[in-house]
Structure 1
Amino acid sequence: MKGKQSPKKLVELVFAIPTERSFYYLVPDELLDLAQVGVRAVAPIGKRILTGFIINVIDEKEFSKELEKISLKELKEIEDILDPIPFFDEKFLNFARWIADYYFSSLGEVLEAAVPAGTDVETKKIIVVDPNYIFEEIRNTDPSRTNYLKLLRILSEKEEHSFSELKKKLKKEGIQSNINYYLSKLEKKGLASIFLEKRKPIVKVKKEKVVELGDLSFEEFSELVSKLEKRSIKQVNVLVTLFAAKDKKMRQSELIAKTKASSQVIKALAKKKFIKITEVEVKREYVELYQEEKKEIKLTEDQEKAINIISKSIDENKFDIFLIHGVTASGKTQIYLELIDNVLKQGKTALYLVPEIALTPQIIRRIKNRFGDLVGVLHSKLSPGERFDEWRSVIKQDYKIVIGPRSAVFAPLKNIGLIVVDEEHDSSYKQSENAPYYHGRDTAIMRGKVENAVVVLGSATPSLESYFNAMSGKYKLIELKKRIDDAVMPVINLIDLRKEKEDNRMIGSFSQTMIDKIKRTLEKNEKVIILQNRRGFATYVICPDCGYTELCKNCSVTLTYHLIKKEYVCHYCNYSKKELSACPVCGSLEIKYKGIGTQRVEDELEQIIPGSRIARMDLDTTQRKYSFSKILNDFGEGKYNILLGTQMVAKGLDFPDVTFVGVVSAESTMLIPDFRSAEKTFQLLSQVAGRAGRSKLQGEVAIQTYRPESYTLQFVQQNDYYGFYQREIIEREEAKYPPFYKLALVEFKSANITQVKRAATEFHKFLKYDKKIIEVLGPAPAYLAKLSGRYRWHIIIKSNRAYDPNGNYLHNILKQAINEYQEKVKKVSNVKMIVDIDPVSTI
């Protein structure tokens, strides 16, 4: 067998599939030089072709050790190698192994999370049909078989469908089970052909043609032009333009645009060897539109003290964890920048994590103002091509600083000296969509440990776990209790909506007190930020005559009304339907729109304060690239004087002329049935309050609430984080939640409620534990019992840290239960099990 007679190398691969095992492959001669640890290889696995990651290379002399485990005759060859140089090394591999083990995912899934989307080679399932035969099948099918008919109607739309595209369309129709069963039946009937097709990466290196003038002296060039003038003036224009260009070369696209010549003219000149055409790689540059003047900063005594303490650990090449607890506008960002400067001077690199994209425009601009082209950006708003090119530039060590959200923790930086986790308390650091279900803050700490780097966590409202770790000495605590530039903390007022209603002082969602404060601020030519942490117009729709409400057909939630598109939308699965003109149950025309979303608040403000210039910043207005930057630019330049939005407006924004912040409803997060709801409410309100008065202008905050007596709101009003911490930590200990207990949430989900219940019940039987250490809640339906067409059941496992400080006992009983469940229970059809370690929410 060619290539398998005397193999020179074997490689060990892992794939982004949920299995702990690795796979061995032979390396064909033409790929021997490229096969190394840290690159991706394309290889067959079963009937499919997938992109895997080389984690081990075995040379001829080492075969004897490995041959006990594998048979060379059974091995297949890898087909290709995608990376010219490795993107991970042994340090990174150790880091990835820790994530895989700790978060119950496969090593391949972790490494896949480190790679830009769209760069893999894999096979896709393709379904081909003849629409005419499908139409005939529709006519012959019993109308009661609604799901099958929905599939047939989608198939009838065109001849070729990818399986993933088909699944997405059926998901919108609320169908997530029996798809393969229906397709196999259609294939047996001869109505569909199903095959696997190898698909190349969507994102590739971008190349452009460059045209260069041949090596001609001035005399030779003049003679050539004279000869061509009479025959082809277009060729002459090309030659003259190139002669005048820098280095006598130009991009072909630019050359054609300038001379109006066709590509055929250029090819003709190249054929005569008067010019030469080469292909060069072109980097797709991400340009941050948000602009801000570079300011000269004078450090405060507290800032200098913090920098000196942390720099000592950096200078000693020592892994350390610092928590900077600084009030809003205390200058934490400037401390980060000075520390980055220190590590760069030592020839090291820095990683700067932010919780989400809303924070990055201002932060990116400030870091780029300071460090220029040394800064790379990795986040979801980049185009796939831009993200790929930024990632490759990091691998080539073109950047010394990388900034981005949680996924940037996987950036292939070398020699890291500092990792900053800004706003470390933020729940968006937790990955919840796909495996691995990691926490960006905690994985950053582990990356720091692996890299022997200093990790700096920063927040005005640290998570209870982080502050507890600082108080117990696990982290080193640095406190910044004063704002910089002589700014003072804003005055915070609680507006009791019960009293405002009683006194007839409500105008829509606003109290007269709040409206008066907004008007006074605008009259002084100062700016306002308004927070309402719900998007849309109305959070639910109800018929007052019969009580009918519009529910999502895929989720156990009400639909939100969106005024602009006049439709009802589910904010969990994006299912939507057009606005009702009458109640579908009783026919009443008195449909009521209840609850308050950002669209309603915007609409009311425009009517109450005519002439106000309002920018709305929520998920609906920030879908497009650069939308964040444009809104923030326009607000900063004064095109808008009110910035209204969801929690996006609470994070990291720094505008010196914002002097008033209003919160429409404090209850939006407070009443969620989750153990972190009080903490999240305190953090959100304290953070948004911190946007006011960040310069010498006094700031003011007004929070509307029906529960002003709540201890959470009382501590917000007093700007008292430590008081809140002391009260909340007692509640956590009594209720057996973090930081005193470690949590694991095991979720089962399926389109079939009977199957999901059975799977959860069966798994629960395999949990064997010491009741002194472990407490188990469930199995039971999740609070949101159905999402995206799937029913959800939860088992919550609590481990007492007094007996299990590192969570090893919890991990061991979970591993044992998972292994027994997979071995002894026949796989429950279409039930997905997710193990979420350290969940940020249990709903």
Structure 2
Amino acid sequence: MEGQLFADVVLPLALPRLLTYSVPAELADEVAVGARVGVQLGKKKIYSAVIHSLHANKPEGYDTKDILMVLDKFPIILPQQMELWSWISTYYMCTLGEVMKAALPSGLKLESETKITLTSNEELEVETLGEMEKSVIGFISARKSTTLADLSEILPASRILPTIRTLLDDKLVALDEVLSGGFKPKREYYVRLHPSIISEDDVNTAFTKLDRAAVQQKAFLAYLSMATPIDFAKPKEVERKLIIDKAEVSAQAIKGLKEKNILDVYERVVTRLGFDDDPSKAINPLSEGQQVAMDTIISEFETKDVVLLHGVTGSGKTEVYIHLINKMLDEGKQVLYLLPEIALTAQIINRLKRVFGSKIGIFHSKFSNEHRVETYLNLLDDTNENQYQIILGVRSSIFLPFKNLGLIIVDEEHENTYKQYDPAPRYNARDVSVVMAAHHSAKVLMGTATPAIETYFNAKTGKYGLVELANRYNDAAMPDIAIVDVRRARKQKQLHSHFTSHLLDAVGAALKRNEQVILFQNRRGFAPFLECEECGWVPECEHCNVSLTYHKRSNQLVCHYCGYSMSLPTTCLACGSPSMTTKGFGTEKIEEELQIFFPEASIERLDLDTARSRSAYERIIGDFEERRIDILVGTQMVTKGLDFDNVSLVGVLDADTMLRFPDFRAYERSYQLISQVSGRAGRKEKKGSVIVQTSQPDSDVLRMVRQNDYNALYEWQLVERHQFLYPPFYRLTKITIKHVDRKLLHEIAEVLGYRLRAIFGDRILGPEEPAINRIQNRYLLGFVLKMERTKPVTKVKELLWNAIYEVQGQPKYKGMMVSVDVDPM
């Protein structure tokens, strides 16, 4: 490209459009679409940005700044990824910068003020530098590190970046691993024989040197034992820490061996990913029903890009997935296996690794930034013999750089955890996977026992293929489901705290048979709130209009919206009465009270409080799988596809909170949650039992759960959705406006509502205050747009944005914040 070259770049910021930078002539051969570059924004900030396009068109209205540096030798964003970013930005009404923030591991986003440090380049004499470069070296040396802003103290603004560029080229300074917050390769120390030791005689001579250094002698012996047989031409490398552990010495002993030219000690980059697992188990043959499902899926893929596998809990859907994955690998294709919950990866990865070994990579937020960066870069590197062929991950895995994707499996496709709520982009990974697959000419298989109404509608109307697995694997029986009336139990004095006699008896019987129990309560914490028995005062969050949840283990009242916490008050802060009592119950309270009823049992919780780290998830699930836990109490985490052989009883402690939730999806979600958690009981040869506690025993939803009649639920809900203009017949878009001034917020809402109704008429509902109308000191009002599916999506969103920008652009309303949620869950 002749003449001045310009680059439109994506910055990791919510900017409404791309910014254009000029490409210096010396960097023209290094830049590429999809590569990261360092750019300056404003006077002090430097960000890494991704090149969106290169062209020769100088922008009008502002002078371009130069790109400072090229961070990548090859593009890290592939064309298919950029296409997907653009689609997500348009469909979910957010900026490309917000998509970039979600798409890249934080180790590749590099967004902060740049730190500059000295390197140890001994090949170049500082005296050969110019005066400005010498000044910078001295300035950094005195401070250990500095920033571009600090350098303005000693250099003219126009000379800061060129001077740093010179020092970077001479490798005298580094920008804190390129930029602050960047990915740092993992390094380990390795040990081998010093090059001067080339024979057995040299080894014996080395021992003579160590006659008076017993500790060093131990370390040398440890190395030799681990490096046997010794190849003097190519000595074996041994990790230093292994020698330290084996010889029980310190690193200082090995350093002494290096100084005596006996061992060579050096540092090198190692992978965090681990490629040591080899397949140890053949693929299991499919049952007759599974084989029919497999053949039908393959047949459906000939004419459909998306297929729904609707199989009851325990029908063996995962085994079908394994055979499909194997088929794709035989065809040289990659597979993305999406799961709704990190907790599931711990169990499924072990199952898949026994078959596919190190072909599998795992990607989710509980791994370190460095691990996620290495996984990302692994997929980009075609020369890597250990390149992943299968990725098992949660929703963010859709942003990985697949080059030869053949299949996306969306397991438990109905789960709302596939939806990103905050911050933007508020995408649904299930729906994005369909678009992503189209960009790669790949196929999508969605699997679940309880499909989302919209997914089942698409399958029933022919948009998706549909495959049914109606029986459990090996014809195992579905569990018996008992609906227990809590009101009747209370009247008959058969309610003990939050447990009916029926449930307690069943738990006791299961424990006597050495079987395990899962109890489901869809609320974490000890109690939903505290209340003064004298005046009715309830502690609320200082920043949100919501009561604080009591967590007994930490003795704190916590806001589950903003994280605010306070110590438990001993007296009412309104009237001074000591009569403070807890109301309701969460998983923590259930765990405590179960210990009273079953003191000999091992009881554990699985919720957000106990499983915040990857190791905690894996420990709890592993202990339950190994039968070291008798009773597992959990929130929705225990409903999501976990498979335990010894669980004979599942208890749902409070179905009413789900059935009464004020949302058009309440009955659908209640059916899904209760059916899914019920499916954890009686796997394989044991018939399980499920006990559902409720004050609505005659509920139609519970009747359908009991009869395992999803089709009845679907037909019932479809009639209501059509009548009241909900999905799958209409598209929903939720617009939330926020402001610290409640009066001004209502004024803004009136103006915005007028604009929206002028465009969309009665398709706009609101403004309405949500149940929790203040979060983090901002008041909230919401609108809902119900739009026919036949209307052009892009045009509708363009009109919606225009109305929002028109109001937001008024000086009086600039403090307003707007969030748009397309296809809210």
TM-score category, normalised to shorter length: 0.7 to 0.9
Task: Check the 8 A contact 2:110/2:181 in 1, yes or no.
Answer: yes
Counterpart of 1:303 in structure 2: which amino acid?
A: Q
Task: Check the 8 A contact 1:536/1:600 in 2, yes or no.
Answer: yes
Q: Tell me which of 179, 202, 208 is aligned to 1:221.
A: 202
1:653 matched residue in structure 2? 642
Structure 2, gaps ≥5 residues long: 116-146, 148-177, 228-234
Answering whether residue 809 of structure 2 is matched by residue 813 of structure 1, we say no
Aligned equivalents of 1:233 and 1:26: distance in 2? 64
1:324 matched residue in structure 2? 309
Tell me the CA shift for residue 253 of structure 1: 4.7
Aligned equivalents of 1:99 and 1:56: distance in 2? 18
1:376 matched residue in structure 2? 361
Tell me the CA shift for residue 489 of structure 1: 1.0
Q: Tell me which of 655, 663, 675 is aligned to 1:674.
A: 663
Which whole-Å deviations, capped at 9, do the CAs of 1:528-561 have from their partners, x for residues lacking one?
Answer: 1111111111111111211111112221211111
Q: Aligned with 1:794: secondary structure?
A: strand
1:437 matched residue in structure 2? 426
Aligned equivalents of 1:539 and 1:225: distance in 2? 70
Task: Check the 8 A contact 2:312/2:472 in 1, yes or no.
Answer: yes
Aligned equivalents of 1:328 and 1:441: distance in 2? 20
2:715 matched residue in structure 1? 726
1:517 matched residue in structure 2? 506
Alpha carbons of structure 1 residues 319 and 85: separation in structure 2 relative to 1, 3 Å: farther
1:156 matched residue in structure 2? none
Q: Aligned with 1:784: secondary structure?
A: coil
Answering whether residue 203 of structure 2 is matched by residue 207 of structure 1, we say no
Counterpart of 2:350 in structure 1: which amino acid?
A: R
Task: Check the 8 A contact 1:52/1:108 in 2, yes or no.
Answer: no
Counterpart of 1:560 in structure 2: which amino acid?
A: T
1:299 matched residue in structure 2? 286
Aligned equivalents of 1:722 and 1:24: distance in 2? 54
Aligned equivalents of 1:385 and 1:438: distance in 2? 25
Tell me the CA shift for residue 462 of structure 1: 0.6
Alpha carbons of structure 1 residues 658 and 264: separation in structure 2 relative to 1, 3 Å: closer
Aligned equivalents of 2:335 and 2:508: distance in 1? 44
Answering whether residue 536 of structure 2 is matched by residue 539 of structure 1, we say no
Task: Check the 8 A contact 2:33/2:53 in 1, yes or no.
Answer: yes
Answering whether residue 379 of structure 2 is matched by residue 394 of structure 1, we say yes
Task: Check the 8 A contact 1:43/1:52 in 2, yes or no.
Answer: yes
Query: Percent identical across equivalent pairs?
Result: 36
Aligned equivalents of 1:663 and 1:496: distance in 2? 12
Alpha carbons of structure 1 residues 220 and 615: separation in structure 2 relative to 1, 3 Å: same
Counterpart of 1:207 in structure 2: which amino acid?
A: R
1:108 matched residue in structure 2? 97
Task: Check the 8 A contact 1:617/1:643 in 2, yes or no.
Answer: yes
TM-score, L = length of structure 2: 0.84
Task: Check the 8 A contact 2:8/2:53 in 1, yes or no.
Answer: yes
Q: Tell me which of 762, 780, 799 is aligned to 2:787.
A: 799
2:769 matched residue in structure 1? 781
Aligned equivalents of 1:125 and 1:236: distance in 2? 46
Aligned equivalents of 2:663 and 2:343: distance in 1? 25
Task: Check the 8 A contact 2:419/2:429 in 1, yes or no.
Answer: yes
Alpha carbons of structure 1 residues 102 and 234: separation in structure 2 relative to 1, 3 Å: same
Tell me the CA shift for residue 585 of structure 1: 2.0
Tell me the CA shift for residue 368 of structure 1: 1.2
Structure 1, gaps ≥5 residues long: 1-5, 127-161, 163-197
1:551 matched residue in structure 2? 540
Task: Check the 8 A contact 2:538/2:547 in 1, yes or no.
Answer: yes
Tell me the CA shift for residue 610 of structure 1: 3.0
Task: Check the 8 A contact 2:458/2:464 in 1, yes or no.
Answer: yes
1:835 matched residue in structure 2? 820
Counterpart of 2:290 in structure 1: which amino acid?
A: Q
Alpha carbons of structure 1 residues 759 and 367: separation in structure 2 relative to 1, 3 Å: farther
Answering whether residue 596 of structure 2 is matched by residue 607 of structure 1, we say yes
CA RMSD of aligned residues (A): 3.1
Counterpart of 2:377 in structure 1: which amino acid?
A: R
Aligned equivalents of 2:22 and 2:222: distance in 1? 52
Greater Cα shift, 611-620 or 293-302: 293-302
Which whole-Å deviations, capped at 9, do the CAs of 1:701-744 have from their partners, x for residues lacking one?
Answer: 11000111221112111111110111111111222111111011
Counterpart of 2:555 in structure 1: which amino acid?
A: K
Greater Cα shift, 519-528 or 329-338: 519-528
Which whole-Å deviations, capped at 9, do the CAs of 1:620-653 have from their partners, x for residues lacking one?
Answer: 1112331121112211222221111111111111
Task: Check the 8 A contact 1:42/1:121 in 2, yes or no.
Answer: no
Alpha carbons of structure 1 residues 293 and 653: separation in structure 2 relative to 1, 3 Å: farther
Task: Check the 8 A contact 1:322/1:456 in 2, yes or no.
Answer: yes
Alpha carbons of structure 1 residues 256 and 728: separation in structure 2 relative to 1, 3 Å: same
1:54 matched residue in structure 2? 51
2:616 matched residue in structure 1? 627
Q: Aligned with 1:592: secondary structure?
A: strand
Task: Check the 8 A contact 2:808/2:816 in 1, yes or no.
Answer: no
Counterpart of 2:184 in structure 1: which amino acid?
A: K
Aligned equivalents of 2:484 and 2:778: distance in 1? 41
Aligned equivalents of 1:275 and 1:827: distance in 2? 73
Aligned equivalents of 1:670 and 1:267: distance in 2? 67
Q: Tell me which of 33, 39, 44 is aligned to 1:37.
A: 33
Alpha carbons of structure 1 residues 346 and 829: separation in structure 2 relative to 1, 3 Å: same
Alignment of 1:49-128 (within 5 A): 49-58=46-55, 63=56, 66-67=57-58, 69=59, 74-124=63-113
Q: Aligned with 1:74: secondary structure?
A: coil
Aligned equivalents of 1:301 and 1:452: distance in 2? 30
1:492 matched residue in structure 2? 481
Tell me the CA shift for residue 76 of structure 1: 2.5
Task: Check the 8 A contact 2:766/2:784 in 1, yes or no.
Answer: yes
Q: Aligned with 1:446: secondary structure?
A: helix
Q: Aligned with 2:771: secondary structure?
A: strand
Aligned equivalents of 1:236 and 1:476: distance in 2? 69
Greater Cα shift, 449-458 or 618-627: 618-627
Q: Aligned with 2:430: secondary structure?
A: helix
Task: Check the 8 A contact 1:286/1:382 in 2, yes or no.
Answer: no
2:407 matched residue in structure 1? 418
Q: Tell me which of 468, 474, 479 is aligned to 2:463.
A: 474
Tell me the CA shift for residue 501 of structure 1: 1.3
TM-score, L = length of structure 1: 0.83
Task: Check the 8 A contact 2:300/2:465 in 1, yes or no.
Answer: no
Alpha carbons of structure 1 residues 30 and 376: separation in structure 2 relative to 1, 3 Å: farther
2:124 matched residue in structure 1? none
Alpha carbons of structure 1 residues 600 and 277: separation in structure 2 relative to 1, 3 Å: closer
Alpha carbons of structure 1 residues 313 and 218: separation in structure 2 relative to 1, 3 Å: farther
Which whole-Å deviations, capped at 9, do the CAs of 1:458-477 have from their partners, x for residues lacking one?
Answer: 11111111111111111111
Tell me the CA shift for residue 761 of structure 1: 3.0
2:569 matched residue in structure 1? 580
Aligned equivalents of 1:817 and 1:679: distance in 2? 34
Tell me the CA shift for residue 271 of structure 1: 8.1
Q: Tell me which of 552, 558, 581 is aligned to 1:592.
A: 581
Alignment of 1:13-24 (within 5 A): 13-24=9-20
Answering whether residue 556 of structure 2 is matched by residue 567 of structure 1, we say yes
Alpha carbons of structure 1 residues 728 and 238: separation in structure 2 relative to 1, 3 Å: same
Counterpart of 1:221 in structure 2: which amino acid?
A: D
Aligned equivalents of 2:510 and 2:797: distance in 1? 54
Alpha carbons of structure 1 residues 260 and 483: separation in structure 2 relative to 1, 3 Å: closer
Aligned equivalents of 2:515 and 2:248: distance in 1? 52
Task: Check the 8 A contact 1:288/1:364 in 2, yes or no.
Answer: no
Q: Report the number of matched residues.
A: 749
Aligned equivalents of 1:269 and 1:445: distance in 2? 59
Counterpart of 2:287 in structure 1: which amino acid?
A: T
Alpha carbons of structure 1 residues 596 and 560: separation in structure 2 relative to 1, 3 Å: same
